[in-house]
């Protein structure tokens, strides 16, 4: 089941990236952000799922210390990157729906590049900060990580050092990087909803509500499980709920994103039809 979900995630997101690169009509800010989100989702799943599948197949559940730290760094990096990209996409939709006449001047190429570059920069700094704090801790014995990958909270539970500074950074710096993108997303969709309610066309209202509802479903799953894992979970006791939450935001959400953001989109479908037609012509 996990292999099928992983392959669907990788192939679905790769298809999105390929279509966006090949079709000039998709060279817009929304699809620019979407291509980076698709790459981030592929990376997020690839960091954890292949190792998990290898362990299940070999019946040898182990990972080196360096491998564990590296896995945690890249995991935090791409989780944080997803947060920022979802916020950028929500802002793009807000400008497109609420200020359509100013869309071209507001969402210019320079702004889009700066938003993506800033997302990568702050995500790298965020991941590096938590990694540097973690490697200062001591682990006194051979340990079993209470999760299917090297998650930050799971590793902190195993440390025999004082983790008060790590917890403080998670709740302050981590909380800030969690709340700011979420506030931007919710604020954008609230304004979109208010604009849609004023629309005289019922068809336009239904279309806007359907799109925003689908996006908000993914956002709710993603941020709800992240909040439960990092801000409301116990640092002393492991729980099956932590593993379920991890599965949702590392496997389920990257799997849903291609369907929610793209494969339901008429532009993506049209681009796919054009590519298939060109392939058939070459045959």
pLDDT tens digits, 24-43: 888 889 889 989 999 999 99
Reported confidence tier of residue 283, pLDDT bands at 50, 70, 90: low
Reported confidence tier of residue 62, pLDDT bands at 50, 70, 90: confident
Specify the pLDDT at position 238. 47
- Sign of the CA dihedral running 12, 227, 33, 53: negative
Specify the pLDDT at position 36. 93
Percent of the chain at pLDDT > 70 equals 84
Tell me the two tokens of residue 71: 């896995």
pLDDT digits (tens, 9 = 90+) for 65-89: 888 889 999 999 998 998 899 899 8
Judge contact between 34 and 89, C-beta under 8 A.
yes
- The CATH number given to whatever domain includes residue 202 is 1.20.1070.10
Specify the pLDDT at position 163. 86
- Interatomic CA distance for residues 172 and 149, integer angstroms: 24
Residue 151: C-alpha distances to residues 17, 21, 253 (Å): 28, 33, 17
Please state, rounded to an integer, the average pLDDT across all residues of the chain: 82
pLDDT digits (tens, 9 = 90+) for 156-183: 888 888 888 888 888 888 778 888 888 8
**Which among 181, 156, 266, 257 is positioned nearest to 214, based on CA atoms?**
257
Token match 């894992």: residue? 229
- Dihedral angle, C-alpha 6, 11, 77, 162, nearest 10 °: 0
Tell me the two tokens of residue 40: 């981030």
- Domain boundaries, position 227: 1-282
Total structural domains in the chain?
A: 1
**Which among 263, 243, 241 is positioned nearest to 251, based on CA atoms?**
243
Residue 269 has pLDDT above 60, yes or no: yes
Better-predicted residue by pLDDT, 145 or 135: 135
Specify the pLDDT at position 130. 92
In a 10 Å sphere around its CB, with 0-12 CB exposed, 13-18 middle and 19+ buried, how is residue 102 labelled? exposed
Residue 132 has pLDDT above 70, yes or no: yes
pLDDT digits (tens, 9 = 90+) for 186-239: 898 888 888 877 766 666 666 666 666 667 777 777 777 777 666 655 454 545
Residue 3 has pLDDT above 60, yes or no: yes
């Amino acid at each position: 089941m996990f292999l099928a979900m992983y392959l669907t995630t990788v192939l679905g997101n790769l298809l999105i990236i390929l279509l966006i690169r090949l079709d000039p009509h998709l060279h817009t800010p929304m699809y620019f952000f979407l291509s980076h989100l698709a790459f981030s989702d592929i990376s997020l799943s690839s960091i954890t799922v292949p190792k998990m599948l290898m362990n299940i197949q070999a019946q040898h559940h182990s990972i080196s210390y360096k491998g564990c730290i590296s896995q945690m760094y890249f995991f935090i990096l791409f989780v944080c990157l997803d947060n920022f990209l979802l916020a950028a996409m929500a802002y793009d939709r807000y400008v497109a729906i609420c200020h359509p006449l100013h869309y071209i001047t507001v969402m210019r190429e320079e702004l889009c590049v700066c938003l993506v570059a800033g997302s990568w920069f702050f995500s790298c700094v965020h991941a590096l900060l938590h990694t540097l704090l973690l490697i200062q801790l001591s682990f006194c014995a051979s340990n079993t990580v209470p999760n299917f990958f090297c998650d930050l909270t799971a590793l902190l539970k195993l440390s025999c050092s004082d983790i008060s500074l790590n917890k403080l950074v998670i709740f302050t710096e981590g909380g800030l990087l969690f709340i700011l993108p979420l506030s931007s997303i919710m604020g954008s969709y609230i304004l979109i909803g208010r604009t849609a309610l004023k629309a005289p066309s019922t068809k336009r209202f239904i279309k806007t509500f359907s799109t925003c509802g689908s996006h908000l479903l993914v956002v709710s799953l993603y941020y709800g499980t992240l909040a439960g894992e990092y801000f409301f979970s116990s640092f002393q006791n492991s729980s099956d709920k932590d593993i379920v939450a991890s599965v949702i935001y590392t496997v389920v959400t990257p799997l849903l994103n291609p369907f929610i953001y793209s494969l339901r989109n008429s532009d993506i479908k049209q681009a796919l039809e054009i590519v298939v037609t060109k392939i058939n012509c070459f045959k």
